[in-house]
Amino acid sequence: MSQAAMTSNQHRADEGVPCNSQLPTLDSESVIENLRVRHAADEVYTWTGTILLAVNPYKRLPGLYGEDVMAETRASKLLRKPHAFSVAERAYRQMAREGTNQSIVISGESGAGKTENCRIILQYLAARSRAEASLAEKRLLAANPILESFGCAKTLRNNNSSRFGKLVKTYFDSANKISASAITTYLLEKSRLVFHSEGERNYHIFYQLAAANAAGNPLARELAPSASVDCQYLARGGAPSINGIDDLAEFENTVRTLELVGVDGELLRNVVRVLGGVLELGEVCFTENEQGQAEPTDEPLLARAAEALGMEVAQLHRCLGTRTVTSGRGSVFTVHFSAAQAATARDSLAKAVYERLFNWLVQAANQSLLVGIGDADAGAVEDERFIATLDIFGFEDFGVNSFEQLLINYCNEKLQHQFLCHVVMQEQELYRQEMISWRHLNYENNSDAVALFESYPTGILWLMQEYARIPSRETSGEVEKKLTRRIHAAHTGSKHLTAPKTRRGNSLNSDDGFIVRHFAGDVCYSTEGFLEKNAENLHAELELLVCNSSRECVALIDGASQAAEARRKSGIGAPRRGGGATTRTVSTGFMNQLNSLVQTLQQTSTHYVRAIKPNAQQAADRFNGELVKKQLEDSGMPQVLTLMHSGYPTRCPFVSLYDKYRPRAPACMAKLETRVFIEGLLYALGVPSEDFQLGMTQLFFKGAGKMAFLESLLDSDLLSSPEAQVRIKRWMILKRWRLALSCAKVAVRFGRRLGMTRAANKLAKFARVVVRARRVLVPLARAAKKTVWRRYAGEVIANAWRMRKLRKFYAASKVAIIKLQAQARRLHANATVAKLREVQRLAAAKRLRVAQLKAAVSIHHAYQCMAARAELAGLRAAYQARRDAFRAARQARDLARKQACATATMQACVRQLRALAHVTQLRAAATVQREAA
């Protein structure tokens, strides 16, 4: 082997193979090992057939997405280099060449790099189209930062996790230039606004707003002065910042991108006001008065939140504390909330406002992406070709799986079904185009698992819709247990749904949840909170309040129609007609969205990118094989490898092999045409004929790793060896002999066809004789027919006349019998109606008597109550009088006692004075006597 060949093989061994179909064995272990080698060599992308695997490097790789790489991709004919640009270029070329719509599906778990790959593909499409309107490119790329700020958040798995799915349609005109774009979002995680786990954050935009307010940004300081990371909605995760991310700079970038897509001036100010209002609304707390009714603890705070959200303070106060319930008979009741219920209504309002703000921003971005298109031509955009880029959430299986995981995994199950069908159809269509013999590819179909969710009426989502529609006085927990039992009963014996078993680490029983066997593994779902999360939580008055908001970004564009719908549901200003409206639920809305998405994908040529997370720590140069294996299983790659292994996984275009190995071939062989040259090359190298097939433009190998084996043979000097020369000459002789034999067979077939042509001429001559005979015999046959007709004409007429009379008699008899039967039924019906009316009259009279008796009893009870109340009032008055008299007598007695005591005291004082005076007189007399003596 030459030194250059050894160096080339060593280089390939250090970097792995760019396509997994070139591996010696096509299984999960080999694929993971190849990904490990390429990850260590900073090779991010790897092909698996037409599917691109993208491993997140968690570091910047200089030159990976530069202009030179774009130019190299545009200049490449075969697009064999694995790269996100190659996927975008393949979709662009197929759209431009065939005029068909394309779609690129990017999937993977949180932190795998889906959002980044979506941005890279959109950036390449914007640059590839070379659109004249540069504003279209800028707005297309600016929409992504807006969606990241308002729809992404920090989680335990990813610092920039998309909490929604999105489909970006990029439309192209007849010159293959970008004419417009449209964004569709799926299943925004509203619950993150009011709750997120420890170590996670709310949506980025709130922290950006808080940082701007803290830094004294005029826009934030004026319109959201209370925004702070200490707000209730932001402080729950305990992670106010992200390493390496400047929230203030991100806020300024978000403002710039909003202004670029047309959200500027007063619209931008309203967006900031609403964000601040949502944070202030989260600070509102409630207490209960003596009647147990909720009251806000801080009225000025509620007033500021109402003003920021464009709502009236009194109406917001009333809607957060009460709701109006209309009974089936038209009676209207006002139900007061407790403090906990008012807090739930507050959180529901905050989630609804933020969801409407998010949807309004998506609409604003879509309107801005219609560059250079007037209102009259906006509908014509739908008729143009497009490339749809889908960034969708991956399969999820946590310690506790709830309603959100159910919908996300249902989405992945549905997309996996579409993915397998597309891969199988794509493989078989390629085999048909290349005209090679093949057997039907068998694969494990997961249609039963999809039907478990959406089959009507026993599917899980339809059962949730049914239980959300049925009113009940039971608690939500009891209804959820009923729902769980109903799900188990509806799918008894299903291989895709089982009951959870209570064991260590799992406390759920058959009434608390169920296990679904997905394509990626078994997942246990807890039904606790299903009905609350599935329902549209806003009651009618609160929804009407939101629709009547003065902020356009809260009321949405169709706020008037939504307000009318909310008013009709609540019974305000319009009489009720019949039953209630159909209950709106999150599950059915998401199912309709997903069916529309799958229908869009089915109408396009789909390309797949599977984003992979190499480690859970989001660290560079670390590769966890078990984690990667789990992600490959979650993305359905084992099924793809099985499909490829059952067909022809290794394929290579003739032109590539011809250009590469023609200089090494002998001169007699190099003159051959491409397909014959490849056939001779394989024969010279001794490749068994059962291991490959020659298509029209490509070489197909049965089994994986054949290309590496072929290249190892070609890198050697086998073609120049004497054995190979002899084998080539033998093959050329055999080829010529077979060609001559084929020519002989063609000649024989031509002779047979010539004989058949002569036989056909003889048959034509015989046919002409038959035609001449027919011209003579047909008039004779017609004359004989006329003779027979004249002979039997009388008999035929008589039979027809008798038949006519019998038909008339039968028709008259039938009419008479029908009239008799109708008269009899009429008499019987009249008698029955008379009996029913009499029964109804008696029942009505009975109901009237009962009502009269009830009224009399009620009047008698009321009279007795009035008499009892009067008697009770008299007794109370007499008791009060006796009590007052007793108090007066006691006071008089006390006064008399006090007077007697005072009199006795005065008398004692008088006696003491008299005694003192007498003593004084005696002393004076004694003194006089002493003086006299």
Catalogue the active-site residues. Answer: 110-111, 115, 158, 161-162, 394, 396
Question: 170 pairs with which residues across the strands?
Answer: 181, 387
Structure tokens belonging to residue 462: 């339809």
Half-sphere exposure of 712 (CA within 13 A, CB side): 13
> Using an 8 Å Cβ cutoff, are 499 and 515 in contact?
yes
C-alpha closest to that of 109 among 521, 637, 612, 618: 612
Give the distance, in angstroms, between the CA of residue 130 and the centroid of all CA atoms in the same chain. Answer: 33
Residue found under tokens 């790329």:
141
Structure tokens belonging to residue 104: 């690129």
> Using an 8 Å Cβ cutoff, are 101 and 95 in contact?
yes
User: At residue 259, what are phi and psi to the nearest 5 degrees?
Assistant: -65, -30
> What one-character-per-residue DSSP string does 210-278 give?
HHHHHTT-HHHHHH-TT--TTSHHHHSSS----TT--HHHHHHHHHHHHHHTT--THHHHHHHHHHHHH
What distances in angstroms separate CA 881 from CA 195, 872, 875, 876, one per listed residue? 64, 14, 10, 9
By DSSP bridging, strand 102-107 and strand 605-612 are parallel
- Identify the DSSP state of 506: B
Question: 521 pairs with which residues across the strands?
Answer: 518
Residues 761, 764: Cα–Cα separation, whole Å: 5
Q: Which residues of 784-795 are buried (b: 16+ CB within 10 A; e: fewer)?
A: eeeeeeeeeeee
> Using an 8 Å Cβ cutoff, are 379 and 180 in contact?
no
Residues 720, 663: Cα–Cα separation, whole Å: 11
Sign of the four-CA dihedral 492, 493, 499, 501:
positive
**CB-based contacts of 632, cutoff 8 Å, min separation 6:** 28, 31, 32, 610, 612, 638
By DSSP bridging, strand 322-326 and strand 332-336 are antiparallel
C-alpha closest to that of 293 among 236, 349, 339: 339
The helix or strand, by DSSP H or E, that contains position 523, with its residue range, turns out to be strand 521-526
Residue ranges of alpha helices (H) inside 455-585 are 460-469, 476-490, 530-534, 540-547, 552-555, 559-570
Angle between helices 540-547 and 559-570 (to 10 degrees): 160
Q: Classify 134 in phi/psi space as left (phi over 0), alpha (psi -120 to 50) or beta.
A: alpha
Residues 415, 418: Cα–Cα separation, whole Å: 5
C-alpha closest to that of 128 among 97, 103, 91: 91
The helix or strand, by DSSP H or E, that contains position 497, with its residue range, turns out to be strand 497-498
User: At residue 170, what are phi and psi to the nearest 5 degrees?
Assistant: -105, 115
